[in-house]
Chains A and B, each alone.
Chain A
Amino acid sequence: MNAPLPKRKLKVATTSLAGCFGCHMSFLDIDERILDLVELVEFDRSPITDIKHCSPDCDLGIIEGGVCNAENVHVLHEFRKNCKILIAMGACAINGGLPAQRNSLDIRDILAAVYARPGRGVHIPNDPEIPLLLNEVHPLHEVVRIDYFLPGCPPSGDAIWKFLTDLLAGRTPTLGHGLIHYD
Chain B
Amino acid sequence: MSDPKTFFLDEEEIPFEEGQTIIQAALSAGKYIPHLCYHPEFKPHGSCKLCTVRIDSRTVTTEDGQTVKIPGRAAASCTTPAQAGQHVESEVPEILDLRRTLVQMLLVEGNHYCPSCEKSGKCMLQGLAYDLGVMDPHFPQYFSKREVDASHPDILLDFNRCILCELCVRASAEVDKKNVFALSGRGNTKHLICNSESGKLGDTNLAATDKAANVCPVGVILHKRHGFEVPYGQRRFDRAPISDNPAQYAPVKEQV
Residues of A within 8 A of B (CB): 88, 91, 94-98, 100-101, 103-104, 136, 138-139, 141-142, 146, 148-151, 153, 174-175, 177-178, 180-183
Report if A149-B136 is in contact (Cβ < 8 Å); known contacts: A100-B143, A101-B116, A183-B232: yes
B115 touches A95 (CB 8 A): no
A residues less than 8 Å from B133 (CB atoms): 174-175, 180
Of the candidates B126, B131, B141, B143, the one having the most CB atoms from chain A within 10 angstroms of its own CB is: B141
Q: Is the CB of B135 within 8 A of A98?
A: no
Contact with A along B117-136 (1 / 0, CB 8 A): 10011000010011101011
Interface status of B19 (Cβ within 8 A of chain A): no
A183→B137 contact, CB < 8 A: no
A sample of 22 cross-chain residue pairs with beta-carbon separation below 8 angstroms, ordered by A number, consists of A91-B113, A94-B137, A95-B108, A96-B141, A97-B115, A98-B113, A98-B116, A100-B113, A103-B143, A104-B143, A136-B143, A138-B141, A150-B135, A151-B135, A174-B133, A175-B133, A177-B131, A177-B241, A180-B133, A182-B120, A183-B114, A183-B232
Give A181 to B113 CA distance when docked, in angstroms: 12
User: Does A180 contact B130, Cβ atoms closer than 8 Å?
Assistant: yes
CA gap between A139 and B115 in the complex, in Å = 16
Q: Which residues of A contact B107 (CB under 8 A)?
A: 95
Assess whether B113 is in contact with A177, with CB atoms less than 8 Å apart: no
Asked if B136 contacts A141 (CB within 8 A), the reply is yes
Query: Which residues of A have CB within 8 Å of B129?
Result: 182
Known interface pairs A95-B137, A151-B135, A175-B135; A183-B115 also in contact (CB < 8 Å): yes
